[in-house]
Structure 1
């Protein structure tokens, strides 16, 4: 579906509802092998909702326009009508279909992950709540121009949050069985997930992770296997009301050695008139070699 053609209608719908959002102007740099490129980007967010009785209309749009490449993405994360009744809920439109337990490493995503939002999938869903701790979800979505059916059970047992999932669609849509769990061990939250791809020659995917507060910040570490080994470590700290620091390091490897690696640092300054974000990334892969990724952005809210 060509989302750019839908943009005027989407904006009109969102503005007719209770709306909030942001507008961001960003300069994204790239320096590799003696060449520096700078790309100006306009990005934003538009969040809107309206409820009446058991009905709810929601819109979450994250448009992005790259001036250097003249590419535009409407960034539809949610555009959905839903209704909740006693013991059930149903909805139709576009919304994310989260199946992941890991937070940093996508082990088996249903749609290609985006850095700034979870992409919405078009279709519908139905949920049942047989007890206060259990949710059964049946969804029919469209992925890679193919229908995809999903059955998921979420619940809590003996202090452990669990998730069981089955997805199936005609190729190239996914077909897999998965399970995940999250538990608390002292100050740590530990979690993991595993998948068996029903079509791949290397069928197993999975990973484990743990997070806890260290000092005034949140520390997270994960390791996963998805056709190769991945490791990620992140730390985020809110320094008072005005400053925040976020750091992330990732490593991807296989039997031939390191495929790619990266480290990213972002400093955010919050103010009454808007935010300023300064970032610096250092990446490596076999094709591009070492790449520096500086960025500067300013953001205002409405």
Structure 2
């Protein structure tokens, strides 16, 4: 019997033995390309292992999202958070792996310390310290491993007048990035307006920027963003829950590379969540070097 049969059983068994919470997921992805001349199925086993424990002001957090693509033989540990920390309100610190969030954007981040993923936020190894003091806001200092290099991160979050701001700076020896950014967000009537500008010290394009708006519309949440990061991009997303057990979401993105055809991708998902799990039916469409590619998917997930 193939070893792949035992992977979801092993994940569930380890989770139960350790009294973790999380999920076990089996996904079947389809890839159809007319120019490539065929249809390919990609079964994927994935899961999530979540654990949190505290002892006074000290805590241990873990969020792991392991997976295996049987078609490509890609195997990933999916470490989003594995951290030992201390939080006393005005003073907090941690060591281990965790995402380092710098951007305010949700669909088109112009700058990130990790490659974007849709299944989880990748964690970076290192440590951090946070200090909170009014009226200056909250200061975060971190030392993370980026591209195998120790990289310093500074972030200051606060408010001025009716807006919230975020000031960020990143520096590490090459190939780690060296950049600084300024972000602002404010509520105007029913709209949340947010944007940011980044300066890059080692890139040919010295600046990147993005602007976004979001609001509740027709019973759902709408977000629209425009960004420039080497090329201009535009994205829109809408999520809607028509009933207690049903939800739907859609995403469309368009990128206009300089001197090349436009690249776009569109996707929609319908999810039924009932009992101990949920089922999601998805359909995507994207363009690129292989022409138009259709991306259907079916996902079944059980929570424990």
Scaled by the length of structure 1, the TM-score of the pair is 0.93
Residue 148 of structure 1 pairs with residue 151 of structure 2 = yes
Q: Do the aligned partners of 2:219 and 2:241 also contact (CA within 8 Å) in 1?
A: yes
For 1:11 and 1:91, how far apart are their aligned partners in 2? Answer: 29
Task: Give how far 1:240 is off.
Answer: 1.2
Deviation at 1:147, TM superposition (A): 0.8
Query: 76, 79, 89: which one pairs with 2:79?
Result: 76
Aligned-pair distance for 1:223? 0.2
- In 1, the alpha carbon distance for the partners of 2:12 and 2:43 equals 23
SS of the aligned residue for 1:294 comes to strand
Gap change, CA 1:76 and 1:109, over 3 Å in 2: same
The answer to whether structure 1 residue 21 and structure 2 residue 22 are counterparts is yes
Picking from 291, 294, 298, the partner of 2:293 is 291
Per-residue Cα deviation, 1:107-146 (whole angstroms, up to 9, x for no partner): 1011111111110000000010012771001000001111
In structure 2, distance between residues paired with 1:13 and 1:162: 43
Q: How does 1:188-267 map to 2 (within 5 A)?
A: 188-267=191-270
* CA contact 1:17–1:50 (8 Å) conserved in 2: no
1:205-254: per-residue Cα shift (whole Å, max 9, x none)? Answer: 01000000111100000000000011000000011111111000000113
Q: CA deviation at 1:175?
A: 0.3
- Secondary structure (helix, strand or coil) at the match of 1:23 reads strand
Q: Which of 28, 50, 55 is the equivalent residue of 1:52?
A: 55
> Which of structure 1's runs of 4+ aligned residues deviate more than 3 A?
10-18
Q: Report the Cα offset of residue 45 of structure 1.
A: 1.1
Label 1:275 to 1:35 Cα distance change in 2 as closer, same or farther (>3 A): same
Distance 1:11 1:145 in 2: 32
Query: Cα distance, 1:106 vs. partner?
Result: 2.1
Task: Render the CA deviation track for 1:177-223: whole Å, top value 9, x for unaligned.
Answer: 10101100010000001100011121110100000011110000000
- Structure-2 residue corresponding to 1:31: 32
TM-score, structure 2 as length reference? 0.92
Aligned pairs, how many? 292
- CA distance in 1 between counterparts of 2:28 and 2:76 reads 17
Unpaired runs of at least 5, structure 1: 1-9
- Root-mean-square deviation (CA, aligned residues, Å) is 1.9
Aligned to 1:179: 182
2:119 corresponds in structure 1 to 116
**2:5 maps to what in 1?**
none
Between the aligned partners of 2:91 and 2:15, the Cα distance in structure 1 is: 26
Report the Cα distance in structure 2 between the residues aligned to 1:236 and 1:159, rounded to whole angstroms: 27
- Distance in structure 2 (CA, Å) of the matches to 1:161 and 1:94: 27
**2 CA distance for matches of 1:226 and 1:184?**
25
**Hey, what does 2:4 align to over in structure 1?**
none
Q: Secondary structure of 2:102's match?
A: coil
- Offset at residue 268 of structure 1 (A): 0.4
For 1:169 and 1:13, the matched residues in 2 are separated by: 38
Match of 2:7 in 1: none
**Cα gap change, 1:19 to 1:131, in 2 (>3 Å):** farther
Q: Structure 1 residues 105-114 or 222-231, which shifts more? A: 105-114
Name the SS of the counterpart of 1:222 in structure 2.
strand
**Structure 2 unpaired stretches of 5+:** 1-10
Partner of residue 167, structure 2 = 164
CA contact (8 A) 1:79 1:95 kept: yes
Q: Secondary structure at the match of 2:214?
A: strand
Task: Check 1:75–1:82 CA distance in 2 against 1; reply closer, same or farther (3 A cut).
Answer: same
More displaced 10-residue stretch of structure 1: 237-246 or 253-262? 253-262
Q: Is the 8 A contact 2:272 2:280 kept in 1?
A: yes
